[in-house]
Structure 1
Amino acid sequence: MSAPTLYELDPADSGIYRAQMVTLTDKNPYAASVYVYDEDEYRTMRLLVTDDGKAGVALKGDEIVSVFAHKDCAHPKSVQSMLSQATALGGRRLDCFDTVLPDLYADAGFVPVARLRWNDDYAPDGWDYETFRTYNGGRPDVVFMAYDPDRVGGDYTPGVGEYVEDYDDGIARAQRYRPS
């Protein structure tokens, strides 16, 4: 595992961060599962990147978003370290589709606290059900996860987390979570 120093971008450089996110999603069949914010939205976040700018993590208040690492990054396998640094800076929650990411986040100490059933009406632009077919037939749940420092190195168990009726309820549950 790599543990690079992260550098905070000036809000005026939010376009650089967004460009790295867009580049990462280009020609990636799973890109629809990654939400890329507008430059103005990134401008309001804390944007942390490695020295080569090819890996980073963003903080939107207490929410961790837009974690990325390019294959040619100078710091391979740096995601766990970046997540650790993000939690040290106040990142306490995140959400993702129930694909490969919950496993990665569980290892960093995030626990599933709620889940939202897939709704075709809210499918991201470019979503290809066939590409994601191994994840609940192309319709994965959204998993809301909260940070628990005692669970670093943990495993994700698919299906864990009480179902909620809407996205805002999932966010609220993640915000209310307190480690035992």
Structure 2
Amino acid sequence: MREIETKYRVADLEELLVALKDAGVVMSDPVYQDDQAYAPADWTPGMPKSGRTFARLRTQDGMHVFTTKTPLANTMECAEHETIVVDRDAMHGAVLAMGYAPTVRIVKHRRTGAAGEISVCVDWVEDAGVFMELELVVDDDRDGLTVQADLDTWARSLGMDLERTTDTYDTLVRPVSA
């Protein structure tokens, strides 16, 4: 599976929620997510990410999910693998044993919704601000850049001032946490 996404910094959360509602997107109540990001031990911030596999260990509502993401054409198009794990501490130890190093902790409050096949996430990320992510998960050979352009067109149709970013949350949080 590939996850293809676009991400936007949002100045006004309430304006965004109204625009999404007007577009027919029903958003969930916020949930708390606690993510630990990991990178290969020989990777340092500023190095290219494409072709390298990164990992995340997320806890939400008492459930732990382990995810790997391998950026392809860019950091917003990734091959992704994900599974539920029973013991977060044991998984953390396993990730370290596999040669990964913890990078940053990302804490966010996430609302989710859908616009057709597009997943819409609205995140308040501690130490980074408010963001909207649009995601499409595909199992075919669609061109990632074309999908990202289509997602951007949909985002712009909301009629809001959105600042598109290609930074991942680990990059956005790192300068504050470093």
TM-score, normalised on structure 2? Answer: 0.28
Q: Which of the two has greater strand per residue?
A: 2
Higher fraction of helix = 1
TM-score normalized by the length of structure 1 = 0.28
